[in-house]
Amino acid sequence: MKNVCIIGGGAAGLMAAYAASLNGHKVVVFEKNEKLGKKIYITGKGRCNFTNDTSPQEFMENIVRGKKFLTGAIYSFPPQKTIEFFENHGMLVKIERGNRAFPVSDHASDVTKALERAIVSNGVEVRLKEEVQSITTSDKIPMSDIAGKNTFFIDTNSGRYSFDEVVVATGGVSYPTTGSTGDGYKFAKEYGHNVTDLRSGLCGLNLEGAWFKELQGLTLKNVSITVKNNEKLVYDDFGELLFTHFGISGPIVLSASSLINRLPLKNLKITIDLKPALDEETLDKRLLRDFEKYKNKQISNALCELLPQKFISILLSSCGISEKKNVNVLTKEERKQLVKTLKFFPLKIKSLRGFEEAIITSGGIELSEINPKTRESQKIKGLRFCGEVLDVDAFTGGFNLQIAFSTGFAAGNSI
Ligand SMILES: Cc1cc2nc3c(=O)[nH]c(=O)nc-3n(C[C@H](O)[C@H](O)[C@H](O)COP(=O)(O)OP(=O)(O)OC[C@H]3O[C@@H](n4cnc5c(N)ncnc54)[C@H](O)[C@@H]3O)c2cc1C
């Protein structure tokens, strides 16, 4: 039996604690907050989309960074095992659109309660309001020393403890008020690990200008977005887009942000197709029909069946057409311009939203320095990392929590 320290009582740390305790070890979880799983409470808008009930193959397609590194963990502890885990620990599960898994109660707190039940019944000790300040070891025995063994000293705000094995599950830096303040990066650097550039992932985009402020609160459903980097396609998808006081957000924008957060924004060309179901020719015919119907009206009234009212003046100003212009004097060129702009409405991105609002931290501990099977540091024996602190991230849909569960299970189970 070993003495195991888990730093961080979030999704990854709690699953690591569970797996290590299943193997008969004496496990202590240190959590700096007054309660476990503070971030879990706000996931999925308070409902916690805790995994995606899909095959491991499809799961891998939703990973943005760390696909190869995560393969073993996802195949060994796939979404179905997560669902089974929660059902076995008293939480009823439902599957919604896009295979998204939620607790039947729609309460994210049930996810944390189930994790807590699982670890407490296995004898895991939870130390709340105890922040780990440093991890030290006298010998620094590397992984290559098969027979060697490190003893780790953990200093917290309450005292000093010694352990045989340490799992760092401190999360990233997004939503820092939940406790994810990047402490794990500091611990990793102290043992010679590299931390890749940290960027916001799954976040809104700040746009140039101020025109979008008028559209604040407007959701465009069934639109598509295309992002090109110097004419090379980076992303295109179809769905919902939301205008905000800073620019744009919504599901398709969040996904786009994770793919562009390392690209030079000035090279990017982003366009919205406001009518993706109609090609240019069909859209032109549709405009002709509407213009015939509203031939004695102003153009701003003639577009009311095609677009939300708020968007019409933005579209017309982007085309250089006066809102007051009568439909019957609109030129063919102006109509063609309207079609083009409806299909390729251009946006200029200023920057990505900050970590305070990013759902995920893109970047983290360099994966080549971590054993993909055991999540153990290649530099120091007995030190493991799991969850968002690693350089891994995925799209929305329950994939990020599943990564935390799979890597947490792998880290704990390998002890
Ligand atoms: C608003 C929002 C909504 C989200 N919704 C979803 C969703 O529906 N589905 C999904 O799959 N993903 C979602 N995510 C992402 C998901 O929550 C994270 O990827 C996941 O929680 C990461 O788990 P983790 O255990 O690695 O880190 P965290 O959840 O960040 O946990 C780390 C824990 O470590 C503790 N800690 C840090 N430093 C120390 C220290 N020095 N000493 C002691 N304790 C420490 C922290 O207090 C924290 O409790 C969402 C994220 C946000 C911000």
User: How many other CB atoms are found less than 10 A from the CB of residue 229?
Assistant: 16
Closest to 222 measured CA to CA, from 120, 308, 340: 308
The amino acid at residue 392 is V
Residue 372 has pLDDT above 80, yes or no: yes
Q: Give 405 Cα–ligand 1 centroid separation in angstroms.
A: 11
pLDDT at site 146: 76
User: How many other CB atoms are found less than 10 A from the CB of residue 152?
Assistant: 19
Q: Give 302 Cα–ligand 1 centroid separation in angstroms.
A: 49
CA distances for 409 relative to 62, 100, 166, 304, 373, angstroms? 20, 21, 14, 54, 11
Ligand 1 site, residue 43, Cβ cutoff 6 A: yes
Ligand 1 atom at minimum distance from 156 CA: 42
Residue 141 has pLDDT above 90, yes or no: no
Q: Give 318 Cα–ligand 1 centroid separation in angstroms.
A: 41
pLDDT at site 302: 92
CA distances for 235 relative to 24, 148, 396, angstroms? 46, 48, 15
Ligand 1 site, residue 393, Cβ cutoff 6 A: no
| Cβ pair 392, 70 in contact under 8 A | yes
pLDDT at site 227: 96
pLDDT at site 285: 95
DSSP state of 77: S
How many Å apart are CA 61 and CA 45, to the nearest integer?
A: 24
Ligand 1 site, residue 187, Cβ cutoff 6 A: no
The amino acid at residue 169 is A
Ligand 1 site, residue 66, Cβ cutoff 6 A: no
| Cβ pair 233, 256 in contact under 8 A | no
Q: Give 329 Cα–ligand 1 centroid separation in angstroms.
A: 58
Computed over every residue of the chain, the mean pLDDT equals 95
pLDDT 10s digits, 50-107: 999 999 999 999 999 999 999 999 999 999 999 999 999 999 999 999 999 999 999 9
Residue 165 has pLDDT above 80, yes or no: yes
Dihedral angle of Cα 76, 398, 83, 106, to the nearest 10 degrees:
170
Residue 347 has pLDDT above 90, yes or no: yes
pLDDT at site 351: 96
Q: What is the pTM of this model?
A: 0.95
pLDDT at site 384: 97
Ligand 1 site, residue 174, Cβ cutoff 6 A: yes
Ligand 1 site, residue 179, Cβ cutoff 6 A: yes
Ligand 1 site, residue 387, Cβ cutoff 6 A: yes
User: How many other CB atoms are found less than 10 A from the CB of residue 317?
Assistant: 12
The amino acid at residue 314 is I
pLDDT 10s digits, 223-259: 999 999 998 999 999 999 999 999 999 999 999 999 9
pLDDT at site 265: 92
pLDDT at site 143: 75
Closest to 238 measured CA to CA, from 202, 270, 273, 282: 273
pLDDT at site 148: 79
User: How many other CB atoms are found less than 10 A from the CB of residue 218?
Assistant: 16
Percentage of the chain modeled with pLDDT above 90: 93
Task: Phi first, then psi: give them for residue 378, nearest 5 degrees.
Answer: -80, -10
Angle at CA of residue 71, ends 74 and 49, nearest 5°: 35
CATH superfamily label, 3-199+360-413: FAD/NAD(P)-binding domain (3.50.50.60)
pLDDT 10s digits, 203-233: 999 999 999 999 999 999 999 999 999 989 9
pLDDT at site 306: 93
Q: Give 208 Cα–ligand 1 centroid separation in angstroms.
A: 31
pLDDT at site 147: 77
Give DSSP secondary structure letters for 342-392: HHSEEE-EEEE--TTT-SEEE--B-GGGB-TTT-BBSSSTTEEE-GGGBS-
Question: Residues for the chain: how many in total?
Answer: 415
| Cβ pair 53, 95 in contact under 8 A | yes
pLDDT at site 153: 96
User: How many other CB atoms are found less than 10 A from the CB of residue 135?
Assistant: 21
Atom 23 of ligand 1 has which residue's CA nearest to it? Answer: 11
Q: Give 140 Cα–ligand 1 centroid separation in angstroms.
A: 29
Dihedral angle of Cα 390, 394, 396, 401, to the nearest 10 degrees:
-40
Q: Which of 115, 400, 406 to mutate to test the pocket of ligand 1 (most atoms within 8 A of CB)?
A: 400
pLDDT at site 122: 97
How many Å apart are CA 136 and CA 140, to the nearest integer?
A: 9
pLDDT 10s digits, 149-163: 889 999 999 999 999
Atom 34 of ligand 1 has which residue's CA nearest to it? Answer: 8
Atom 53 of ligand 1 has which residue's CA nearest to it? Answer: 359
Dihedral angle of Cα 382, 385, 386, 390, to the nearest 10 degrees:
-160
Domain parsing of the chain, residue ranges = 3-199+360-413, 204-353
How many Å apart are CA 104 and CA 94, to the nearest integer?
A: 5
In 3-state terms, the chain is what percent helix, strand and coil (to 5)?
40, 25, 35
